Amino acid sequence: MLSRIEVWFRWARRSLSRSHWLARLLQLPVSTGSGVRPGLLMLQIDGLSQPELQRALDRGEMPFLRRLLKKEHYTLHAHYSGLPATTPAVQAELFYGVKTAVPAFSYCDHCSGSVVKMLQPDTAAQVEDRLTKMSDEALLKDGSAYSNIYTGGAAESHFCASALGWGPALRSANPLVLLVLIITNLYSVLRIIGLFFLELGLALGDFFRGLIKGHDFFSELKFVPTRVAISIVLRELCVIGGKIDLSRGMPVVHINFLGYDEQSHRRGPSSLFAHWTLKGIDDSIARLWRAANRAQWRRYEVWIYSDHGQAKVKPYHQLRGYSLEQAVEQSFARLHAQPVSPSVRKADSIQTQRVRLLGGNKVQRLFAVRGGPANAGQDRVTEAAIQVAALGPVGHIYFPAPLTEQDYHFVATELVVEHKVPLVLRLEAPDLLRATTDDGDFYLPHDSARIFGAEHPFLDSLSDDLLRLCQHADAGDLVVMGWRNGVTAQSFADENGAHAGATPEETNGFALLPADTLLVSGNNSYLRPRDLYHAALHYLGRSPQQQAPSRSARPAEQTDTLRVMTYNVHSCIGLDGKVDVERVARVIAQANPDVVALQELDVGRDRSLGLDQAQLIARYLEMEFHFHPAMHMEEERYGDAILTHLPLRLVKAGPLPGLADRPKLEPRGAIWAAVQFNGQEVQIINTHLGLQPRERLAQIDCLLGKDWLGHADCRGPVVLCGDLNAQPNSQVCRRITAQLQDSQTLLAQHRPAGTFPSRFAALRIDHIFVSQAVAVTAVDIPSSQLAKVASDHLPLLVQLRIPHDAASMTD
């Protein structure tokens, strides 16, 4: 009954959903088919390092992400960005599996001879075209992309560098439809207006604060509208579009939130203004997460990650009193009697460039980007000029003609000794980099620890990535970096927060993923974008078998405790009416039990699509299992199972007595298996008792008798578990506790809690009882949103300490 009410409520909510009706009004295609097909929502928080995320969580600035960690069984992973630590490089590796696709955010394109920036539509499109040819599979194929550098192969892209503004569906929409869009999203529109004025007030305050500190007037003034546009308007438009796409059943949706990175560049990664934007991003993630969980056409996972971090930096020109270009000019002048002037351009800030993602001719003219093939006439320099591309802490120097290695070394030494550039790299051989510092020359990869510090969290990967960076076809003859171990981090652009370089802060992103997500990261303790690429393809069912990650590949944890779960899975029919075996398996996997006792499993039944649910769940968990059908009707079976990754021996499985005067009652049974743990056998009995009081008493008396718990072989550590359909104060439970202990009452700090119904778990009818010598060290009732929908019961998990008793050892 409760399940039917939930199904009806979900249907009514979907039918009245604004996103559902907007998709129909805009005549957008809707995915149809099974509602248990996998879908993936990927949310990128641009520029947020793991340390800054942890600071925001501790301060309460991101309460929803904290809830995911505390309640929804998410795990926080370190995510190494690779080098350069920029969005174009990270998204290329994430969307296409290609490392170091670009040498920096700004560089000299060897084909056009012009300095380009990755926010230029032509440049982004050209790079993505190369990536498409280099990759076997684009991650966002058939999906949608918002606010990215690349489309990632998406069928629909919005506000991306290679596809500015809304996608074609909205650009060509009837004005009346757009009016309906505004009216139906009136709350969101009012929210945008309210946040707009709030953000505008903060931006103006920031503007005057910048002027007091002596910042450029026009630069500060231009930052006011860009801050509001990126932090509020673009974010809200992406959320509205993302919710529509989720209601349509798009297979993969990727949204990039730019607000934090925008503020960090300007004021620093730890600034109040940067952390202020995290509150709005957290709320946006919460709204999208709820939309994903209500989606009709797919079973969505939500992955949250950052592409890289940011480091607090000092602008090079403020430290030295002149620019990097001038330093290059002076160094080259020492080499030649007739100096060659460098190509000197005042770089646009990233902030004023990103607002162009919103599209519109007026926006493009107001915030024009200089450079690139489209402006080759103004940015192509003479053949006698040096080109310097340095929009951040990584810069590339291009000489008009090849120099001797001695001359390259001379210029590099001048830059680090006379002009205090922290580090200059030169590729001396295909697998050898010379690293010039004011302490002398070093060579990578051999001297990585001396350059970047032995404590760098990603030291084992830095040298390989730097080699790839310097080997890139568009890399400079010399590569300059604004940091090495022991010096203040610097940027060659006018900013207080920066990324692209190799500092621990810049390279230290994060990935917040469901605990059961299958990942392969080699021998590293961290992930990189390519790992997420393969994991996402695997989840979507698009990964080649040889690249598929495996749970058995994970290192086994050594422990002296046994985690036992009991779970009534309701034939894997969720409260949304969907038969979804994998969803149930994921609930179990996220709790990470050693032994699982399942009730109400279907095998070959028409109502559950004829699936062998016991086998499918065991396969997902990579466990062995024994199934006992309490009810057998022709080819259809229904009953209970015990699953474990430990050595398993079936002892007994059989029926339990019913009532002679009620022959039509549902048959009940029990299954008994012995599990090897730390050199001894633990006896596990799993059962599902009847609904009638007299029936349950007869069944529990049978279980307590000589054929089950009273049997001579049922000795040593014993666990009795299952759905008893009986409350703790019932006669059934009182008879059990005369011999065994109720696990939920053995911890002083734990208050016994119910497991049924899953939405409002008020009844404690699922139990785990243990023998007297067994200690309970933890009790948990997973109550994530996934668990509340997967079945009408919640699982019960206990952690047991099994005594090392020689008398209970098996022969």
φ, ψ for residue 115, nearest 5 deg = -80, 125
pLDDT tens-digit profile of 760-779?
A: 999 999 999 999 999 999 99
Integer Cα distance of 44 and 23 in angstroms: 24
Find, among 737, 744, 654, 741, the residue nearest to 699 by Cα.
654
Distance linking the first and last C-alpha atoms of the chain: 50
- Asked if 273 and 410 sit in the same domain, the reply is no
In contact, 753 and 781? CB cutoff 8 Å: yes
In contact, 414 and 407? CB cutoff 8 Å: no
Kindly state the average pLDDT of the residues 670-685. 96
Residue 58 lies in a domain: yes
Three-state DSSP class for residue 513? strand
CATH of the domain at 522: 3.40.720.10
Q: What is the pLDDT of residue 480?
A: 98
Higher pLDDT, 233 or 750: 750
Give me the torsion for CA of 625, 628, 633, 638, rounded to 10°. -70
Mean per-residue pLDDT of the chain: 87
- Asked if 478 and 581 sit in the same domain, the reply is no
C-alpha 717, offset from chain centre: 40
pLDDT tens-digit profile of 793-811?
A: 999 999 999 987 634 444 4
- Asked if 300 and 415 sit in the same domain, the reply is no
Residue in the structure block whose two tokens are 């079973």: 299
Find, among 411, 414, 395, the residue nearest to 403 by Cα.
411
* Cα diameter, the chain: 112
Q: What is the pLDDT of residue 163?
A: 72
- Asked if 41 and 91 sit in the same domain, the reply is yes
- Asked if 293 and 370 sit in the same domain, the reply is no
Find, among 422, 502, 508, 420, the residue nearest to 469 by Cα.
502
pLDDT band at residue 372 under the 50/70/90 scheme: very low
Residue 544 lies in a domain: no
- Asked if 65 and 143 sit in the same domain, the reply is yes
Q: What is the pLDDT of residue 178?
A: 60
In contact, 721 and 767? CB cutoff 8 Å: yes
Integer Cα distance of 23 and 45 in angstroms: 26
Q: What is the pLDDT of residue 558?
A: 53
For residue 152, which amino acid is it? G
- Asked if 343 and 444 sit in the same domain, the reply is yes
Give me the torsion for CA of 522, 524, 530, 531, rounded to 10°. 70
Residue 538 CB partners (closer than 8 Å, separation 6+): 518, 547, 548, 549
Q: Does residue 381 carry a pLDDT above 90?
A: no
- Asked if 798 and 693 sit in the same domain, the reply is yes
| Residue span of the structural domain in which 263 resides | 2-24+37-312+506-539
Kindly state the average pLDDT of the residues 45-57. 98
Query: CA separation (Å) from 175 to 18, 64, 156, 172?
Result: 18, 36, 20, 9
Q: What is the pLDDT of residue 305?
A: 98
Q: Does residue 564 carry a pLDDT above 80?
A: yes
Q: CA neighbours within 13 Å on the CB side: how many for 640?
A: 31
Residue in the structure block whose two tokens are 């050595």: 647
Residue 808 lies in a domain: no
Residue 551 lies in a domain: no
Residue 550 lies in a domain: no
CATH of the domain at 716: 3.60.10.10
Strand pairing class (314-315; 490-491): parallel
Q: What is the pLDDT of residue 810?
A: 40
Residue 323 lies in a domain: yes
**Full-model pTM:** 0.89
- Asked if 513 and 492 sit in the same domain, the reply is no
Q: What is the pLDDT of residue 34?
A: 80
- Asked if 257 and 290 sit in the same domain, the reply is yes
In contact, 691 and 725? CB cutoff 8 Å: yes
pLDDT tens-digit profile of 208-266?
A: 766 666 655 555 566 666 767 787 888 988 998 999 999 999 999 999 999 999 889 98
Integer Cα distance of 231 and 681 in angstroms: 59
Q: What is the CA radius of gyration of the chain?
A: 31
Give me the torsion for CA of 524, 527, 530, 535, rounded to 10°. 110
Find, among 210, 241, 224, 75, the residue nearest to 144 by Cα.
241
Q: What is the pLDDT of residue 707?
A: 95
Q: What is the pLDDT of residue 345?
A: 46
Integer Cα distance of 573 and 595 in angstroms: 22
Strand pairing class (252-257; 144-146): parallel
pLDDT tens-digit profile of 787-796?
A: 999 999 999 9
Q: What is the pLDDT of residue 200?
A: 67
Residue in the structure block whose two tokens are 């149809």: 32
Residues of the chain above pLDDT 90, percent: 70
- Asked if 451 and 586 sit in the same domain, the reply is no
Strands (E), 103-193: 106-108, 115-117, 144-146, 156-158
Integer Cα distance of 276 and 202 in angstroms: 10
In contact, 96 and 135? CB cutoff 8 Å: yes
pLDDT tens-digit profile of 53-99?
A: 999 999 999 999 999 999 999 999 999 999 999 999 999 999 999 99
DSSP string, 244-282: HHHHHT-SEEEEEE-HHHHHHHHH-TTSHHHHHHHHHHH
For residue 166, which amino acid is it? W
Higher pLDDT, 546 or 248: 248
Measure the CA angle with vertex 360, ends 357 and 361; round to 5°: 120
Strand pairing class (648-656; 796-801): unpaired
DSSP string, 669-706: EEEEEEEEETTEEEEEEEEE--SSHHHHHHHHHHHHST
Residue in the structure block whose two tokens are 């929409």: 173
φ, ψ for residue 423, nearest 5 deg = -155, 135
Category of 721 on φ-ψ map: left (φ > 0), alpha (ψ -120 to 50) or beta: beta
Q: Does residue 173 carry a pLDDT above 70?
A: no
Q: What is the strand order of the sheet 796-801 is part of? A: 624-633, 636-644, 595-603, 561-568, 796-801, 775-780
pLDDT tens-digit profile of 269-284?
A: 999 889 989 999 999 9
pLDDT tens-digit profile of 18-38?
A: 666 666 666 777 887 788 899
Least confident of 91-95, 101-105, 383-387, 493-497: 383-387
Bridge partners, 234 (sequence order): none
How many helices and strands (H and E) does the chain possess?
28, 32
Bridge partners, 342 (sequence order): 386
Category of 545 on φ-ψ map: left (φ > 0), alpha (ψ -120 to 50) or beta: alpha
Three-state DSSP class for residue 645? coil
In contact, 151 and 163? CB cutoff 8 Å: yes
Q: What is the pLDDT of residue 352?
A: 56
In contact, 57 and 50? CB cutoff 8 Å: no
Give the number of domains in the chain.
Answer: 3
Higher pLDDT, 489 or 15: 489
Q: CA neighbours within 13 Å on the CB side: how many for 188?
A: 22
Kindly state the average pLDDT of the residues 97-103. 97
Least confident of 100-104, 366-370, 600-604, 751-755: 366-370
- Asked if 274 and 144 sit in the same domain, the reply is yes
Residue 754 lies in a domain: yes
In contact, 41 and 286? CB cutoff 8 Å: no
Kindly state the average pLDDT of the residues 722-734. 97
Residues of the chain above pLDDT 70, percent: 81
Three-state DSSP class for residue 433? strand
Residue 548 lies in a domain: no
Three-state DSSP class for residue 239? helix
